[in-house]
Amino acid sequence: MHSDILRIVGIGEAMVELSPAGEGLYRLGFAGDTFNTAWHLAQLLGGRASVGFCTRIGTDATSQRFVSELKRDGLDTKVVGRDKSKHMGLYMIELNGTERSFQYWRGESAAKSLANKSAKLEQDQAGADLIHISGITVAILPPHAREKLLRTLSTARRTGTRISFDPNVRPALWSSLDKARNATLDFVAIADIVLPSFDDERLLWGDSNPTQTVRRYRDLGVAETVVKNGSDPVTCATPGEQHWLPTPAVSGIVDTTGAGDAFNAGYLAARCQELGQTEAVAAGQAVSAEVLKSAGARAHRDTIRALGLRLFGSQPEVAARRDDITLDDGAALD
């Protein structure tokens, strides 16, 4: 997966995030599972990679603020599409101690149409070394768009792109768990790396332990599986070996939102740098720990950039980014 400058694309939904900032106060930010991963990847890898987030947003002031933040933080915005008739979805975090619950408003989310146009998807994926998607990416799409995404990812994989998939099960986004299972299997079939959370696997498949999860994905032909399990050990496997790696204790936990997405970023960044699986798990745990100590789904930018330097060493200069992004009204369907 290594080249001089890697091209990485995350695909999914970014939402407006309202996170607690005091009694009756909320902080506005942006988050979403694959977006969190792509953003952390961009900060960790810096000039080693061009990281883009393929999504659709509105043309309103909040959507423009999102684009401005992407540019500021070094992400490639050419794969962001715009829709004049829609806007970004919104969610609010409610905390009980360090544990969180969510309320969502995503009915008019422009991201639901991110896969409507096959030609645009193919253009956005062209030349990618790594593409990262999730079960939420899959769940928010209507069936016809889901099929287009599956086809374009299959084509990209045949031309050398590696596909990373976090099943990330959200039952509320599916009409039944059977449909979630079937869709998950479709995307697992074209994935090189699968990054599930054990709680999701237990819910969806009835797994009794992470080893059972690893065995099922290995039997399905997945080359690389990493099972996250909260504060319990991480179970990871390739066809030739399996490891159980303890999760270091984290002090000063503020908010568990986005910890798994951050782990994905650290793990994938390390694998992009050709580190072994055990080293990649340690990198994932380090990034996750920083998010656990932060409010909301993303850690502070400078903290993650400094962590990237500690993990991977000095970086080449970051290439200049284009300031334009794709603008279209989303009216035409393929």
Residue in 101, 158, 165, 169 with CA at minimum distance from that of residue 133? 165
Helix, coil or strand: residue 41: helix
**Any alpha helices (H) in 162-292, and if so which ranges?**
177-188, 198-205, 210-219, 259-272, 277-292
Contact status, residue 308 vs residue 45, Cβ threshold 8 Å: yes
Cα separation of 94 and 270, whole Å?
32
Token pair for 298: 């993303």
Q: Name 241's Cβ contacts closer than 8 Å, sequence gap at least 6.
A: none
Count other Cβ atoms within 10 Å, centred on residue 216.
17
Which of the residues 178, 186, 261, 302 is marked catalytic?
A: 261
261 is catalytic: yes
**Dihedral of the CA atoms 67, 70, 71, 73 (nearest 10)?**
160
- Residues 167 and 25: their CA atoms lie apart, in Å, by 33
The residues annotated with a catalytic role in the active site are: 261
